[in-house]
Chains A and B, each alone.
Chain A
Amino acid sequence: MRIVVENVEKRFVDSKKREVTALENINFSIEEEEFVVLVGPSGCGKSTLLNIVGGLLSPSGGEVYFEGWQDSKPPRLGIVFQEIALFPWRTVYQNIVFGLEEQGMSKAEMKEKGARYIEMVGLKGFESAYPKQLSGGMRQRAGIARALAIEPHLLLMDEPFSALDAQTRTLMQEELLSIWNRTRLSTLYVTHNIQEAVYLADRVIVLSRHPGQIKEIIRIDLPKIGRDQDKHREAFEAYSNQIWQLIRHDAQEALKEG
């Protein structure tokens, strides 16, 4: 089973009634157990693309599909939002089991799964707290647990750590990697942070802007765990640099346009 993004394009009409092409000619696939990261300058349509893959936006052309899908039930998609989007009126536990509830899972099973994922993201002891009582990092852990709990066939993450401070972010990246190593979910991850992309990805898809197109797909040939070790530093830097060179010009243009 793999997820295929085929000839996807997205056009919309802006506030001045001009037609804007946000995405054009997007073709790639996500293999089983593959971690794919979309990276690009602001305004390149990477979040738009993730939303299309997540079934939250219709493409203007092309399609996204699961190839080799045998089941009669549709595949489950777990989405981690940039805005976290926890329900303020539900406790951490109630938020995390939300997807399970919607699947009609039994109370006992829900409890067991909920506990497992709360444990996995390190929120033990906070089950009955409300999102408002948590720090940003803890909230996003709950957001991640909510997406993991449904055991999705594809995990989508839209700049999940961009609202966190740099230190929390580094820790969360490490944790995400160790969680991913246990679950091995096919993942599509959007970020504008190049180091984060190189740190997490099996493949990095670099997008350009105006219109958003795939500029290059880079396979990161480093062991999945421990990329921050000294012996990989040089290769890590080389990948980061390569991606930065691809994005640099576009990012400067984006800055000028604001």
Chain B
Amino acid sequence: MAQSSDTAAGQVQTSQKHIIRNRVSFLDQTIPTYVSVLGIIGILVIWELLCRLGLVPPLFLPAPSAILGAGWDMLVNGELAQNLLASLYRILIGYALGSLCGIVFGLILGFSRWVDAILNPVVYSIYPIPKIALLPLIILWLGIGETPKFTMIALGVFFPVVINTYSGVRNVDPILIKASVTFGSNYFNVIRKVILPGSLPMIFAGLKLAAGTSLLLLVSAEMIAAQQGVGSMILHYGNLMIIPKLMVGVLILSLLGLLINRGLQWLENKLIPWK
């Protein structure tokens, strides 16, 4: 193993040697991408087998093939597109609203000591409230149309984005701010040219966190008060005990989450090339 002796004939003197090998090679190990694909395929195959062999009752867990079939039917009769579009519309508007307000507010909160002193306690006391607890109140205020749904999602997105943006701003190296001011930046440009790019990595961490929250709130809001949308669709088929179609909804949510995450990752790579 680590020891190897020189086998040259006749060499009797200290010919022991200990070769030094890289002990941290695990740090830059590269695994081929197909391994991840194989992982998912493997799980699907096992799932299908469990169902085919009758080890799991189809009512509790339908086979992937059954789910796929149900999904195809729903796609053909237009039901899927209708519900998905309704959900996408809500989540897009809510997410955009919440994250935009969150970033702007977080920047101001982080930059101005005054605003920070006044509003920081307010933000931190509203932040821990599970936003779903506010739904009845919001329905009371805004009725049962689309507006309360946007608001719910926007609220859920707003807080993680604010808090991340805020700590991002606070973590910008003061020497960079000093440098920009010496070279003639005014307050606005300090924010735009130094603080905003400096806190982008943290902002994106917040945006990714918020993506999960927004899906959660979307589905909750749709389950409580909506005729259309993936959430109400899941609840509907749950009540009817049509589990394959319910699972289609669940898978759609998983795909949606994956897609949002990938989109944000792509945007992050575009916007933060220096990382």
Contacts and interface: CB of A to CB of B under 8 A. Distances in A.
Contacts, number: 47
B14 A53 contact: no
Contact of B19 (A54, A65, A68, A77): A65
Contacts of B19: 63-65
A68 B21 CA distance: 17
A66 B25 contact: no
Contact of B20 (A64, A68, A72): A64
B22 A65 contact: no
A55 interface: yes
Contacts of B23: 55-56
Interface string A58-73: 1000011111111010
A55 B16 contact: no
A67 to B, nearest CB: 5
B20 A53 contact: yes
A55 B15 CA distance: 21
B17 interface: yes
Contacts of A55: 20-24
A81 to B, nearest CB: 13
Nearest to A53: B20
A65 B17 CA distance: 6
Contacts of B24: 55-57
B2 interface: yes
B17 A69 contact: yes
Nearest to B2: A74
Interface string B1-37: 0110000000000111111111111000000000000
Contacts of A74: 2, 18
Q: Which of B15, B20, B22, B25 has the most CB of A within 10 A?
A: B20
B18 A75 contact: yes
B24 to A, nearest CB: 5
Nearest to B23: A55
Nearest to A72: B3
Contacts of B15: 68
Interface string A131-154: 000000000000000000000000
A69 B16 contact: yes
A58 B20 contact: no
B14 A68 contact: yes
Contacts of A4: 17
6 contacts: A52-B22, A56-B23, A66-B17, A68-B15, A68-B17, A70-B16
Interface of B: 2-3, 14-25
Which 9 pairs from chain A and chain B are nearest by CB?
A: A69-B18, A68-B14, A58-B22, A65-B19, A66-B18, A65-B17, A64-B20, A55-B23, A55-B20
Given A65-B20, A67-B16, A68-B14, 10 more contacts: A52-B22, A56-B22, A58-B25, A63-B20, A65-B17, A65-B18, A66-B18, A67-B17, A68-B16, A77-B20
